[in-house]
Structure 1
Amino acid sequence: MANISPQGARVLSWIDEHREEVIGFLQDLIRIPSVNPWFTTDGEICREGEAQALVAEKMKALGAEIDLWEPDPADLARYEGHPGYYADHRFEGRPNLAAVVRGTGGGRSLLLAGHIDVVLPGEGWTRDPFGAERADGRIYGRGTVDMKGGVAAMIMALEAVLRSGLRPKGDVTVGTLVDEEAGGMGTLAFVDRGYGADGCFMTEPSGLMVSPLCRGILWGKLTVRGRSGHIEMPQGDWRDGGAVDAIDKARLFLDQIDRLNRDWKDRKTHPLQPTPCQVYVSQIAAGEYPTSFANRAEIHFNAQYLPSEADEKGRGTAVQAEIETFFRRVAETDPWLRENPPEVEWLIDADCGEIPGDHPFVTLCAESLRALGVDPVVQGSSCHTDMGWFIRRGTPTVNFGPGDPRIAHHTDEFVEEEELLTATKAMALALVDWCGVDEA
């Protein structure tokens, strides 16, 4: 695909002529605050259903067959123990969407997938997080990067092909999914419903890098118990009823996590990953009163794992066991902790996925960028994406989308307008080449 075909050139011209429509569609998505309810009880900003209605309206106008449904944990109970299944998640008003544009026949099928939920804006914004403000060639707002920018680009890429008077030979499915930010149950429901393709763009932000793998992510909580007592008073030996400072005991684990990370740095690496897997402490909560030693300390952590470490179900159970053993050995070095061992609770196991770096779909994505004058970079995604279930169900998947993934979840999150348009063009060219096209 070193040269752009006449059909591809038509599609690129359409995108250039309709750039404001591409940007405007992203702005419309941003203005709907589709915050995942995992992070809040504020129903006013948990409007995933409204965002899905906007996508459904767009896809109906393109002639797609629409399948809009609310995942049911009871119907998915057979997946207990698999990635993405959480019996307590609820989906009232939070539907998945699959929109299928039927091909004329004889071409490969394509799936364009992305999640519609976002995290809370948080504090410190200098712009309206749901205002979709444009300034200095950027679009600002929660989700511009993670990942409504990718959703807008993939849908507008398909629209560009269709509005250019072309029809894909293979079926093209647009899947917009809920609940990714809290574990990926929307994707589980999507593949359970039978959706897949010969190739898939998972349009998570990649900075236009082509990512044929992502790491798995574990969220855990370590609870370290102490014994409260007046902090200003002398305390005797804990065996005689003296206080034990849970913060002091937690510090022991924090120090040893640094040692664990030095070990992981040398052996938990991948040639396509820019950084090794690590255990990152993300939250610490301890103590009840300024005048008391802490009765307990809670350490939340995030640990990554590689596809090679996943079990037969795609989960990080071996890494969980490794971390549990590590914490147990740390506890054995302290008399109090030996008798009062800490508790480990696993909150999230977000699965990983990988296809070969030289897979034809990876090569196609790289060549689409090269045709646009962009030197392609093939590199794994350091964070979790929903590609794992697609790959395990036989759909070769790459992460590819606009936006710097480091800006995801930041205050004043933004995507560059030109990067949004380049991603739209690259996916449109790949669609033309992968699926084949006929004149409409």
Structure 2
Amino acid sequence: MEDASLEVTVREIAATLCSFETTAGNEAPAQEWLQATLESAGFEVYTWEADAERLANHPSFPDDPALIETDGRPSVGGILEFGYPDAGKTLVLNGHVDVVPAGRGWEGDPFEPRWVDGRLTARGAADMKSGLAACVGAAKALESSSTSLDGRIVVESVVGEEEGGIGAAAAALENPYPFDRDAAIVAEPTELRPVTATEGSLMVEIGLEGRSAHAATRWRGASVLEAFEDLRAGLEAFERERTERVVHPLYEEFQIPWPVCIGRLEAGEWASSVADELTASVRVGVAPGETVASVERELQAHLEGIAREADWGGIVGPTMERFSIQFEPGVTESDESVVRALQTGMERTGLSDTSPRGATYGADSRHYVGAGIPTVVFGPGSIEQAHFPEETIEWDSVERAMSVIAETARVYLSS
């Protein structure tokens, strides 16, 4: 990976990674390719797989290890050392290689990357394979231009971020390297702005039970759908109340900082029977400074209040139970050295908007923050393109991110 061809090489890394269909459990071929690419570029490479038993004891993951898919899903870390590495700091540049399924709405094959007018289109282009490629390029750019630094750069490609951070959680629980990590940058798409706070999320299934009856005599039944109208209105009221009551300075720009989303609804068994059972899958935003458990208690109390006030003759519930992955919020203080280094790196490369921000999504940064590793989220592209058909990123933003991250690493290792 020579300096003169660095830009072309980073383009090739991003496009090649996007050509792999790295949905959950299918990351290994891409990781093997990236491992070989890093080794050929002079990185010392470590790999690890998560332990499902260990993750089952983590509050973010299901209690049953059988529900956590870890086998055959390697995460990869490539290390470059500078000067006397043990005399300096270690900075992790992190990205995830997994993507969500492509879905509908694409003009071409989502795993055949297309270049049009300086934009890369493919599943994973923005979220976040271009950011991962920029981390590789930044590390090599720093190596080719520096002769007086001490420390290490680690470029990580982790798996299972979309499932709660399987690879990152494993790395946070048990360090896969024979050295300590001092700080991290997660290169999620932030539109080249520093994000120091990520939101958490509570995932619950809310249930109602009614009484079935033949459609011809539906008045004899108790339909859960009628009760759900009250429940839906109550969840909207819960969201409004939290928007007014729970405030955070990094989230003032958001119209709804702690969204409540009913993402899936199942009810009834048959068109000619009154719907007697309902399950709603719900995501509730958790603010920095809160915990998943505290918001869960608030929601449980609110649901009980809805049931007390409602006139639901024949309806039992609502019940509430966690499911899937829980995201705790993650916050790094703005005076941490890695945040200051990023702000300096941005300024030196021509970016003036260096104010820390919050994000209403979760990221792997929370796992490193939880392990005592200050972490900031910064990368090219927009979260609006994530999980979107015709997912696209402007390549000049990737080039800019690569320059900023390289300069940030230089500042951080020099401090």
TM-score by length of 2: 0.91
Which residue of the partner structure matches residue 326 of structure 1? 302
Structure 1 counterpart of 2:393, one-letter code: V
The one of 17, 20, 23 equivalent to 2:8 is: 20
* d(CA) in 2 for partners of 1:72, 1:359: 31
The one of 62, 83, 97 equivalent to 2:41 is: 62
| 1:95-134 alignment, distance < 5 Å | 95-105=74-84, 106-134=87-115
Whether 1:220 aligns to 2:220 is no
The one of 352, 357, 369 equivalent to 1:379 is: 357
The one of 221, 225, 233 equivalent to 1:243 is: 221
Residues 325 and 337 from structure 1, CA distance in 2 versus in 1: closer, same or farther, beyond 3 angstroms?
A: farther
Matched-pair contact (CA < 8 Å) for 2:132–2:157: yes
Residues 234 and 103 from structure 1, CA distance in 2 versus in 1: closer, same or farther, beyond 3 angstroms?
A: closer
Shift of the alpha carbon at 1:83?
2.8
Task: Output one character per residue of 1:274-312: Cα deviation in whole Å (capped at 9) or x when no partner.
Answer: 3221212222222222222212222111111123112xx
SS of match in other structure, 2:357 = coil
Which residue of the partner structure matches residue 332 of structure 2? 355
Which residue of the partner structure matches residue 92 of structure 1? 71
* d(CA) in 2 for partners of 1:155, 1:108: 18
* d(CA) in 1 for partners of 2:378, 2:190: 5
Unpaired runs of 5+ residues, structure 1, are 1-10, 38-45, 236-241, 311-315
- The CA RMSD over aligned residues, in Å, is 2.3
Structure 1 counterpart of 2:189, one-letter code: P
Whether 1:411 aligns to 2:399 is no
* d(CA) in 2 for partners of 1:224, 1:168: 62
* d(CA) in 2 for partners of 1:289, 1:393: 49
* d(CA) in 1 for partners of 2:204, 2:343: 36
Whether 1:290 aligns to 2:271 is yes
Task: Output one character per residue of 1:221-278: Cα deviation in whole Å (capped at 9) or x when no partner.
Answer: 112222222234352xxxxxx2111111111110111111111111222111232212
* d(CA) in 2 for partners of 1:82, 1:151: 27
* d(CA) in 1 for partners of 2:246, 2:79: 40
Which residue of the partner structure matches residue 4 of structure 1? none
* d(CA) in 2 for partners of 1:422, 1:131: 24
Matched-pair contact (CA < 8 Å) for 2:121–2:390: yes
Matched-pair contact (CA < 8 Å) for 1:247–1:294: yes
Task: Output one character per residue of 1:393-438: Cα deviation in whole Å (capped at 9) or x when no partner.
Answer: 221100011110122101111111011111111001111221249x
The one of 14, 20, 37 equivalent to 1:32 is: 20
* d(CA) in 2 for partners of 1:388, 1:234: 50
Shift of the alpha carbon at 1:136?
2.2
Which residue of the partner structure matches residue 258 of structure 2? 277
| Of 111-120 and 271-280, the range deviating more from structure 2 | 271-280
Which residue of the partner structure matches residue 41 of structure 1? none
Matched-pair contact (CA < 8 Å) for 2:222–2:315: no
Structure 1 counterpart of 2:293, one-letter code: T
Shift of the alpha carbon at 1:30?
0.3
* d(CA) in 2 for partners of 1:85, 1:115: 21
Unpaired runs of 5+ residues, structure 2, are none
Whether 1:210 aligns to 2:194 is yes
TM-score by length of 1: 0.86
Matched-pair contact (CA < 8 Å) for 2:222–2:313: no
* d(CA) in 2 for partners of 1:436, 1:338: 69
* d(CA) in 1 for partners of 2:363, 2:250: 16
| Of 209-218 and 61-70, the range deviating more from structure 2 | 61-70
Whether 1:179 aligns to 2:167 is no
Matched-pair contact (CA < 8 Å) for 1:29–1:148: yes
Which residue of the partner structure matches residue 201 of structure 1? 185
Matched-pair contact (CA < 8 Å) for 2:199–2:329: yes
Structure 2 counterpart of 1:31, one-letter code: S
* d(CA) in 2 for partners of 1:19, 1:81: 40
* d(CA) in 1 for partners of 2:20, 2:374: 31
Which residue of the partner structure matches residue 124 of structure 2? 143
Residues 217 and 145 from structure 1, CA distance in 2 versus in 1: closer, same or farther, beyond 3 angstroms?
A: same
Matched-pair contact (CA < 8 Å) for 1:113–1:201: yes
Which residue of the partner structure matches residue 239 of structure 1? none
* d(CA) in 1 for partners of 2:199, 2:341: 23
Aligned-residue sequence identity (percent) comes to 25
Whether 1:391 aligns to 2:361 is no
Which residue of the partner structure matches residue 345 of structure 1? 321
SS of match in other structure, 2:281 = strand
SS of match in other structure, 1:297 = strand
Matched-pair contact (CA < 8 Å) for 1:62–1:162: no
